[in-house]
Chain A
Amino acid sequence: MHIGLGELLIELTLMPLVAFIVGMLMVLMMRRVGARLQRRVGPPFFQPLYDIIKLHSKETQISHGLIHDIGIIMAVGGYIAAETLLPVPGMNGIAEKGGLITLLYVMMIPSLGLALGVGQCANPNGSIGISRALTAMLAYDIPFVIVMAGVAFIYGTTNLVEVINIQQEGGIAAWGAVQMPFMALAGLFALQGMLGKQPFEVYVAPAEIATGPMVEMGGKYLGGLFVMQCFQLYTASVLYVTLFLGGGENWLFLLLKAFAVLLIPISIAFLFPRFKTDDLVRLMWKWPVLLGLIGLVLINYR
C-alpha cells in the first residue's frame, strides 16, 4: 500500500498518541482489577492521567546528571518510536520498513535508556535492580525468540502487516493461537516476564532493594516511567494479539482482544509471591522453552 508522505506523518503522530491513551486505560484496568482482587474499590477513571500530571508538575525534581535526564528521555522516546512499528487497524506507520525483529530491538532501547539513567544515579539499589532486570530480560527473551522463529516459519514473513493479513484472511482457523497453541502458551509466559509484573518483578522488589531502578527517580522522572508503563502494557498486549489472535479487524475487536489478553497476566500477578532472580531464570528456561521447542517441532512437521 503506497501512501502519501502527509498521511504517513499523520499516522506516525497518531499511533503513539492512541497507544498512550489506550495504555492509560490499561493501567486503570490493572489497578482496578488488582483492587478488586484485594477487596478494594480502586482508583477513579482518570487517576492514571492525574498521576502523570501530578508527577510532572512537582516542585522538587532531583537529577543526578545529564545522563539521568537522557535516560528517561530515551525510555519514553523509545516506546513512542516502537508504537509506530506496531500496525493497528487503519494505521500501519512504518511497520513495513522494519519487521518483528526491528520492533523487538527498538523495544530494548527504552530498557537501555533506563539502565543508563539508573546508572548515573549512583545508587547500588538501582544498579542491583538493573542487573536483575537485564537478567530477567535474558530469561524471558529466550522463549520469546523461539516464538518469533515459529511465527516467521508459519507465516513466512517477519512483516507484521502481512502477519495480520494472513490471519484475517483465514478467519479464526488461521489465528496463531490455533495454528501453534504451544507457541501461544510459551508466549504468555514471555509476556508475563516482559511486563515485569509479579511474580517476575524481582527487579523492582520494593521491600528488598527500595524499588530498584526507581529509587532515585522522583517527579517527572517517575512520571516518565509511568508513561513508559502505559506504553509497555499497550505494546506487549497488542503485539501478542497481532501474533496470535489475528490482529484487530477494527478498533473495537482490537481493544477487546488486547484487554482480554492483558487480563491474564494481571490476574496472575496479584496471586503469586515474588520469584528470586535465579528461580526466575530457571523457570523461564524450563517450561516456556520446552513448550516453544515442542511448538517448533510441530511446525516443522507441517
Chain B
Amino acid sequence: MKHYIILTVILPLLVAFLLPTIGRFSYFLARALPPIILIFSIVITACVYNNETAPFALHIGDFVAPQGIVFHVDSISLLMALSVQVFALFLWPRRSFKLQSEQIVSNKRYSLMLLLVASANGLAFSGDLFNLYVFYELLAVATFGLISFDTNEANQARFAAAFRYLVISATGSVMALLGIALVYFLTGTLNFAHLATQQANLFNPIGLSAFALLLVGFGVKAELFPVNSWVPEVYSAASKKLSGYLAGVISKLAVLVIIKALLFIFPHSEAAYLMLGLGLAGLLIGELSAMRSNDFTRMISWSSVAQLGLVFIAFSIPGQAGIIAGLAVLFHHMFVKTALFLIAEKWGGRISDLHGQGYLNLIMSGIFIFVALSLIGLPPLPGFWSKFLLLNGLAGQEYYFAIAIILITTVIEVNYLFRVANHLFSREDKPVLPINNHHWFDTLTASLIVVALIVAVWELPTINDQLIIMSDQLLDIESYVNRVLISTENGL
C-alpha cells in the first residue's frame, strides 16, 4: 500500500506529458483530467499519512542504496506533498476563453502545472542529492513557463520577469551543482543516508563551502538573501495565484531541501551562523523594502522575503527547538502568504488606488485584516505561537540581537500592513470605483484559509504534538540511515 506513494510523482508527470495530445482530441478532458489526477494523488497521500505511523524508505527498482534511488517518506515530506497538491488544486489556473488558440495555450498551462506538482512531490520525497537536483531543475523549468502565462494580455512584463528569473535561477542551479560536485569530491556519494555516515569527511572548509554553495544555489527559490532580488518583480508580473503558490508552497520546499543539507551534510555551528546571518539580512531588507512599497503585490512579495528570512533564522537554532520553531513559522507562512496573494488577485496594484475599497467588499477586507493580524503575531492566532516558539528558541541560545531585530521589524510590519488597511477604509471624499476582476472561488479559498487558521488555534495541542513528531523524525538521523542503507525488501 505504501508503495503507491510513488504514484503521486509518476502520475502527474505522465499526464503532464500526455495532456497536449489529449487536449487536441477533447478540450473538456484536458480540463477535467488534471484536477481528477490531483484529487486522486491527494487521496493516496492522505491514506499513506493516516496509515503509516513510522517513516519508511522506498528503494526504486529494488536497487540497493547508495547506488540506487531512494525515496524517504516521513511525516514532514508527506505533509509537504499534501500541501503541494491541495494548494495546487485550490490555486489551479482558471480556464480562459473558448478560442481554439487559447485552448491550446491553456493545455500547456495545465501540463506545466502538473509538471510543477510532480517535481515538487519528488523534491519532497527524494533521498539523494542528484535526484533532488533533477526534480529541482524540473520544478524550475515548469515555473519559468508558468510565469509567462497570464490571461491578462496587457501584462507584458511577465516575459521580462520570466527571463530574469530564468537567468538567476540557472546561475543558482549551477552553483548548487558545483556544491553537489564538491560533496561528491569529498565523499564519493550523493545519498543522504550515506552522507550522514561520512560527516567526518565533510567537516572542513571545503565542506563548508559546499554547504554555502548549496545554500545560495537552492536559496534562490527559497528567497534567501542575497539571491532574492527577483522576488518582487516576478511575483507582481506573474498571475497572482501562481505567485501565491510559489511564495507559499514552493519556497518552503526549497527551505526544506536546505535543511536536509544542513542536517545531513554539515550540521555544525558555522553553517548555522551563516544561515542566521543571511536570514537576519533578508528579514531586515524585506521588511524595510516592504515599507517603501507603493504597490500591494510588491509589498507582500517583500513581506514573504522577510518571513522566509525568519524561517532561516528559526532553523539556525540548533536542536529540536529550532526545528519545531522553523516548521511552525514555515507552515503558518504557507497559509498566510497564499491568502495574501489571493487578496492581491483582487487588490494588487497601487495602494493609494485602494482608498475606500474596504467598504465595498467587507469579506475580503475582513480576511486581509485577519491574515495581517496573524502575520504580526496577535495572540491567540497561530502566528503568535510560531513567533513565541521562535523567540523562545533564540532566547535559549542567547541570540538577543536577533530577538531585537525580529521585534523591531514586527513594528515596521504592522505599520505598512495597517497603512493599507487605512487606505482600504479611508473616509476621504474621493469617488470609489468598484473593482470587478474577481472570482468567487478565490474568495472561498481565502475564507477557507482563515477557517483553517482559526481551527489551528483550537487544535494547538495536536499541532504541537505533530510538530514534535516531525522534528523527532528529522533529527533521528541514525534510524534514517538504518532505514535507507540496510533494508532492501521494499521497492517497486
Asked whether any CB of A lies within 8 Å of a CB of B in the complex, the reply is no
